[in-house]
Amino acid sequence: MSGQKVCRRLEGRVALVTGAGRGLGAALALRLAQEGAHVAAADIMLDGVEKVAAECTERYGVKALPLKCDVTDEAGVEAAVGRIVEEMGRLDILVANAGIVVPGPITDIEVDQWRKCIEVNLVGYMICAKHAVRAMLWQGSGVIVQINSKSGKRGSSKNSAYAASKFGGIGLTQSLALELAERGIRVNAVCPGNLLSGKLWQEQLFPQYAERWGMTVEEVRQKYIEQVPMKRECTEKDVCDAVIFLCSDESSYITGQALNVDGGQTMH
């Protein structure tokens, strides 16, 4: 067990995290485990979720189930939720985190690539919510948290597929919140700022933007920090803290919200 203070606010609950093989999803799975939840970690990359699940059990003593699952494949998602209910007994929490970024100017971007971004980020969220909600309705309780983005509230230049998918995610979140409010299921979203130390930025976005703008990676990094009123990047812990709050009973009167976790960058 790590030396960190353990609250275990979610003791015994069962959580599914999508896109849990790396990055924010992996951090969320571990944090849910630290709070005492049993965790199903799903991703298209099985090796990633196998490592994350093993770490959840080793460090926090919870049950953990690694699942190879593509959120855009309805039959696969239905089977994954079925396995969770069978092996863990129930499903209390869905963290819909799986997401991709497909940047590019509107004049150049391939329609298939644009559509793929909508398919993973928006349709994938809908498919996971559909099957999680079926299990939750049966129990009469549950919590869904979508990992959205500040690009779900404000347009993003040369990143229209991503922003459109995330704006749609907020519409879906609010609609599900209304549909399920009387059934004991809360649905919220978290809108993080830029996780500049994460793999997505380090491996994909920094090199792309540096080349596009003729800048060094450090210059691009500074440009993004400058846009944040608090003058620092968003961390995985910042997002995990907000997600755990929205999963816990401390937020039992909160539904249909999209909470900005972005150092003041977006204020609506």
Is there a contact between 31 and 6 (Cβ–Cβ < 8 Å)?
A: no
Count of residues that bind ligand NAD according to CB under 6 A: 29
- Where residue 263 falls (left for φ over 0; alpha for ψ -120 to 50; beta otherwise) is left
Taking the C-alpha atoms of residue 178 and residue 264, their distance in angstroms, rounded to an integer, is 27
Q: Give me the least distance between CB of 182 and ligand NAD, in Å please.
A: 28
Per CB under 6 A, 32 contacts ligand NAD: no
Tell which residue, 254, 236, 256, has the closest CA to residue 245. 254
Q: Which of residues 115, 199, 212, 223 is near ligand NAD by CB under 6 A?
A: 199
> Measured between alpha carbons, how far is residue 113 from residues 101, 119, 204, 208 in Å?
10, 10, 16, 16
Which residues, numbered 43-72, are part of the site for ligand NAD (CB under 6 A)?
Answer: 43-45, 48, 70-72
> Is residue 168 a contact residue for ligand NAD (CB under 6 A)?
no
Closest to ligand NAD by CB, 43 or 92? 43
* 3-class SS letters over 194-254: CCCCCHHHHHHHHHHHHHHHCCCHHHHHHHHHHCCCCCCCCCHHHHHHHHHHHHCHHHCCC
Q: Which stretch binds ligand NAD (CB under 6 A): 29-37, 56-64, 198-206, 250-258?
A: 198-206
* Single-letter amino acid code for the residue at 192: P
- Candidate segments 9-17, 87-95, 130-138, 192-200, binder of ligand NAD by CB under 6 A: 192-200
Out of 162, 209, 224, 253, pick the active-site residue: 162
What is the C-alpha separation between 190 and 227, in angstroms, rounded? 19
For residue 55, which amino acid is it? E
Please, what is the minimum distance in Å from the beta carbon of residue 43 to ligand NAD? 5
The answer to whether the CB of 96 falls within 8 A of the CB of 145 is yes
Nearest distance in Å: CB 171, ligand NAD? 16
Nearer to ligand NAD, 132 or 137 (CB): 132
Which residue, 184 or 220, is less far from ligand NAD as judged by CB?
Answer: 220
159, 103 in Cβ contact below 8 A? yes
60 is catalytic: no
Residue closer to ligand NAD by CB (options 10, 42) is 42
Give the footprint of ligand NAD on this chain (CB under 6 A).
Answer: 18-19, 21-25, 43-45, 48, 70-72, 97-100, 120, 124, 147, 149, 192, 194-195, 198-201
Question: Which residues are designated catalytic?
Answer: 162
